[in-house]
Chains A and B, each alone.
Chain A
Amino acid sequence: MGRDTPYLPDEIIQEILKRLPVRSLIRLQCVCKYWKNLIKSPSPSFIDENLRHQNPSLLLWQRDIFGPLRSQFRRSGPLLLRSIDSEMHIGKVQSPPLLSPWWNVCIVGSCNGLVCVGINESNMSAFLVWNPATGDARRIPRTKSYELDVWDCSGFGFSTIANDYKIVQVYDEDAKARISSIEVYSLNTGSWKEIELGPIKDAIPYGESITFNGCIFWEGIKVEEEEEGDDDYLIVSFDIAKEVFTFIPGLREVGNIQLTVYNDKLAILSMTLQNYLHINLWVFEEGLGSSTGRWIPMKKYIGFPHLDTFRIPITIWRNNEIVCTTLQADESRIRFFTKEGETFTIPGYYVNVFNHVESLVPVGISHC
């Protein structure tokens, strides 16, 4: 740009800065005090508009191969993260403060740039809400005793209606594989509160959750007093604003199932054992009125004979690229592929991969 650039009014400078990646903004705090203030103490509208301009990224959770895999349902271990941006640049993620590097943790979820980490140490039972881009973190202790070894269910998400981020923790205090209580933490109020079990008393949500559109979803099973029937598999949904649980029918397909989001809809990536080369993408169409809705097959990702490996789908990103892991006798990889074929591959052992987006969302107060 030329030497004689005009002086831009603050209004225009802010408009430009909103369109920069968070990573660049962190660097540009050094320009002057005014810019530092804009970036370090951003206005709610600046945070929101900046978030809308960010490209999606992924967090890759590296496996500490010497560490134990403690939970049956949720993957856990020390927090070693790398990130991959939409241009497929891989970077190291600085570890959060308030967390010892050897602590056993699980990742509860990632939402609008905030990552919720569950800490399950004998002397530290807490959550960490952490913004990896700004480096800020807040530790939130659990209120009750908690045993990871039984089964584990927690979730983290945002609701525009409530304008709040919440953590949900499901407790099984008697270790009876029955929910005994549920607590919800609000980032706005900074406190836990116990909520009514409602319909969830007859079901057990488990494993990793996903969140979008103001809801958190888990896979779950129905608990019957009698013999277990056929219809025991379902999806549990939690409305973050209303703080109520509802059920969505499960997808009756044998094999590996992974919840994900596709085109702003709840989706499932499935793989049958009979035909493990193929991965199917299903999308849940909400029913009208009182009907429950149903699963619609969207796409089939056909396997490629030259990549004849066992692929476990993890997630979908940039709207058409499947991320999966493959494990062969001597090596493990994260693979990316579209319907046309493989697009990218990362060697190494990974615990899990999470959809993420960088943001300036603070870990304390709400951003609206």
Chain B
Amino acid sequence: MSSSVEAITVLSSDGDEFKITVSAAKLSKPLNWMLEDVCFSDDCDEVPTIEVNSKTLVKVIEYCEKHAPRANSGASDSDAEELKKWDIEFMKMDVKDILFHILMAANYLHMEGLYDLACQTAADLMKGMTVSQIRKIFHIKNDFSSEEQEQLRRQHPGCSFD
């Protein structure tokens, strides 16, 4: 890889092109490997595809670009505090619709920080959901027989199957 390259172009699974800086791409192990293996100079015509849809990839790159300076240089406590606030904002409404996609992408791209953040966000959302709401978003069918439901209810009087 030529050291003069500052940003690379990648394709989303929808076929859209995205630019990501080299330092941001380093947050992902597979992308980092790609950087080392593939020629990213201007005259190279091979554009790697990332199996993440465009909507999700935009958010993943946004996260990477924000976190890259800190990951590469280390940061003061105040920076860490600021980044934490940014993460909370980042995980708010506009991400909710694609949270599960972000989880899949962070897992696939081996991005520990984003994966942890997305898992925690999902967990926090689930706290306020009913059992049937949770079944719906996870595509799960209630596979308990009525006897089994009765037994669980006896053990945990507060439990609800709806």
Contact = CB atoms under 8 A, between A and B. Distances in A.
B38 interface: no
B100 A32 contact: no
B152 A17 contact: no
B123 to A, nearest CB: 4
Interface residues of A, number: 30
Nearest to B155: A135
B120 A32 contact: no
A16 B141 CA distance: 19
A353 to B, nearest CB: 24
Contact of B139 (A7, A18, A21): A7
Contacts, number: 88
B127 interface: yes
A366 interface: no
A328 interface: no
Contacts of A135: 155-156
A254 interface: no
A30 B160 contact: yes
A31 B119 CA distance: 18
A262 B95 CA distance: 38
A24 B127 contact: yes
A24 B131 CA distance: 10
Interface in A263-289: none
Given A1-B100, A30-B159, A30-B161, A20 B126 contact: yes
A89 interface: no
B134 interface: yes
A68 B122 CA distance: 48
B5 interface: no
Nearest to B101: A6
B96 interface: yes
Size range of the interface on B?
35 or more
Contact of A24 (B115, B126, B137): B126
B140 A32 contact: yes
A11 B106 CA distance: 13
Contacts of B125: 1
B39 interface: no
A19 B123 contact: yes
B134 to A, nearest CB: 6
Contacts of A19: 119-120, 122-123
A8 interface: yes
A31 B152 contact: no
B84 to A, nearest CB: 16
21 contacts: A1-B97, A5-B138, A5-B139, A6-B104, A8-B100, A12-B104, A16-B103, A16-B119, A16-B122, A24-B126, A26-B159, A27-B156, A28-B134, A30-B131, A30-B144, A30-B149, A31-B138, A31-B140, A32-B140, A33-B144, A135-B156
Given A16-B103, A19-B120, 11 more contacts: A2-B97, A2-B98, A7-B139, A12-B107, A16-B123, A17-B123, A19-B119, A29-B152, A30-B160, A31-B134, A135-B156
Interface of A: 1-2, 5-9, 11-13, 15-21, 24, 26-36, 135
